[in-house]
Amino acid sequence: MFWNLPSSLLLIGTAITAAAAAAAIDPSAESLYSRCSDVSFKVSTTSQNVKFAFPPDPNNETQILEFNRRSLTLTGNPQNGTQLISGTFNIDGVYCRPPPTGVRARDDDVLEILVHGITYNKSLWSGLGLGARYDWHAGANARGYHTLAIDRLTHGTNPQHPEPLDVVQGQLHVEIVHEIIMAIRNNTRNNALDRGFSKIVYVGHSFGSQIGQTLGHLHPNDADVSVLTGYSAFPIITTFDNISFESAATFRPRHFHGQPLGNIVTPIEAQRTGAFYAGAFDPAVAHADFLAEDTVTIGEIAALITMISSGGGGYRKPVLVVTGVEDAIFCTPPAAVCASILAATKAIFPLASIYEFIMPESTGHTLSLHYSAPETLKGVHDFLDRVLR
């Protein structure tokens, strides 16, 4: 764990990320360290989504925000069964390859699929373009791992904005990720990368980790390893009591023009920073994060309870949980208390072949945008090197 790592190891972590510096700024740029390209998947799938008994009027923002407030208690909106949602969706991503030299060959067959949390998009994994320290692609590529960060449906540059309550729920994201993994593993014509991979590492942040948990439950053979960051089995939902939301199209009409009112954002910077950042971080990063925030849908939040309670079921492969000691949503300082929360999270994955956790110190929820990010990247890739051997 980071809080008692020998300092020699910390130095190695720093050096690796410094070496990847040139890759940080433009996630699509070719560089000596990462070679990235924009990709787009066309995915046809079906998911079993939750139906709500008393949905808000989709044109009434007041009702939408009241509905969302009730969802944040996790049980405030009664469900009325499920419904099948089918569709064909365009999912954009950025795919980055390791540098051509200096990488061990055995890693050449491993792809990390990076899935962002709420109010972020795939840019999270390139550190919002704020520097090498925060660039997951560059850190992973420098260790020989390929990376694919996707925009979940309705987020980032994805052109479609489906109905936000019934359609855009975690369950549908899980099935979309499943189809993408199938296409890559089998290298079918729906694979937007120019090659297949036989080893897939699922890497999630926050809601992206909860999607990973459910993926492990519904499709236990999809991920060879699951790395769940900004996550535990015990979300502290009261943290959201003090966070207001607003429809994205109302808050930033130019940027979010045409998006349904059920696509919402956190409009108050101090609240967002208080929930997502803690300990050692650059205030300029938290500010840039606020200015560039993406959306969350009211369906993603409302159906969360179903994903949390479904657990990680029959997933039998290695699991690594990575959560900041000061994560206001998924852990509680001091380190000993956070450690007990992350240790208890193992119960979600009773059959996992390996279960370990890492707790970066002085680190809040959006851990890859904190000063500890290079150590986090090092810890994750040391784990992957070990379990994928």
Ligand X SMILES: *[C@@H]1O[C@H](CO)[C@@H](O)[C@H](O)[C@H]1NC(C)=O
Binding string, 244-273, against ligand X, x = CB under 6 A?
A: ------------------------------
H runs (alpha helix) in 83-232: 136-142, 170-186, 207-218
Q: How many CB atoms within 10 Å of residue 342?
A: 25
Element (H, E) at 297: strand 296-297
Nearer of residues 53 and 105 to ligand X, judged by Cβ: 53
How far is Cα 309 from Cα 235, in angstroms, rounded to an integer? Answer: 12
Binding string, 293-332, against ligand X, x = CB under 6 A?
A: -x--------------------------------------
* Strands, E assignment, 13-103: 35-52, 79-97
Given candidates 46, 188, 198, 353, which one binds ligand X under the rule CB under 6 A? Answer: 188
The region of 57-65, 162-170, 343-351, 370-378 touching ligand X under the rule CB under 6 A is 57-65
- Polymer length in residues for the chain: 389
- When asked if residue 74 is in the footprint of ligand X (CB under 6 A), the reply is no
How far is Cα 34 from Cα 100, in angstroms, rounded to an integer? Answer: 9
Given candidates 7, 88, 241, 257, which one binds ligand X under the rule CB under 6 A? Answer: 241
Nearer of residues 8 and 241 to ligand X, judged by Cβ: 241
- When asked if residue 206 is in the footprint of ligand X (CB under 6 A), the reply is no
β-pair partners for 149: 94, 114
User: Least distance in Å: CB of 121 to ligand X?
Assistant: 4
User: Least distance in Å: CB of 159 to ligand X?
Assistant: 10
Handedness of CA 148, 27, 33, 142 (dihedral sign): negative
CA torsion 101-102-107-109 (nearest 10°) is 0
Nearer of residues 81 and 100 to ligand X, judged by Cβ: 81
Antiparallel, parallel or unpaired: β 35-52 and 319-322: unpaired
Q: How many CB atoms within 10 Å of residue 252?
A: 17
User: Least distance in Å: CB of 12 to ligand X?
Assistant: 29
3-class secondary structure, 9: helix
Given candidates 48, 63, 187, 362, which one binds ligand X under the rule CB under 6 A? Answer: 63
- When asked if residue 46 is in the footprint of ligand X (CB under 6 A), the reply is no
Nearer of residues 134 and 231 to ligand X, judged by Cβ: 134
Given candidates 45, 49, 229, 239, which one binds ligand X under the rule CB under 6 A? Answer: 239
Classify residue 243 by burial, with Cβ atoms within 10 Å: 0-12, 13-18, 19+: middle
User: Least distance in Å: CB of 385 to ligand X?
Assistant: 25
How many residues at the interface with ligand X, by CB under 6 A? 20
How far is Cα 357 from Cα 2, in angstroms, rounded to an integer? Answer: 10
The region of 1-9, 121-129, 131-139, 142-150 touching ligand X under the rule CB under 6 A is 121-129
User: Least distance in Å: CB of 195 to ligand X?
Assistant: 16
- Asked if 314 and 217 touch (Cβ cutoff 8 Å), the reply is yes
Q: How many CB atoms within 10 Å of residue 264?
A: 30
Residues in Cβ contact with 95 at an 8 Å cutoff, skipping those fewer than 6 apart? 36, 37, 38, 39, 146, 147, 148, 192, 193
Return the residue matching tokens 């290695």. 318
- When asked if residue 238 is in the footprint of ligand X (CB under 6 A), the reply is yes
Nearer of residues 92 and 361 to ligand X, judged by Cβ: 92
Nearest position to ligand X, beta carbon? 292
- When asked if residue 86 is in the footprint of ligand X (CB under 6 A), the reply is no
- When asked if residue 292 is in the footprint of ligand X (CB under 6 A), the reply is yes
- When asked if residue 186 is in the footprint of ligand X (CB under 6 A), the reply is yes
Contact footprint for ligand X (CB under 6 A): 53, 60, 62-63, 80-81, 121, 123, 128, 156, 182, 185-186, 188, 238-239, 241-242, 292, 294
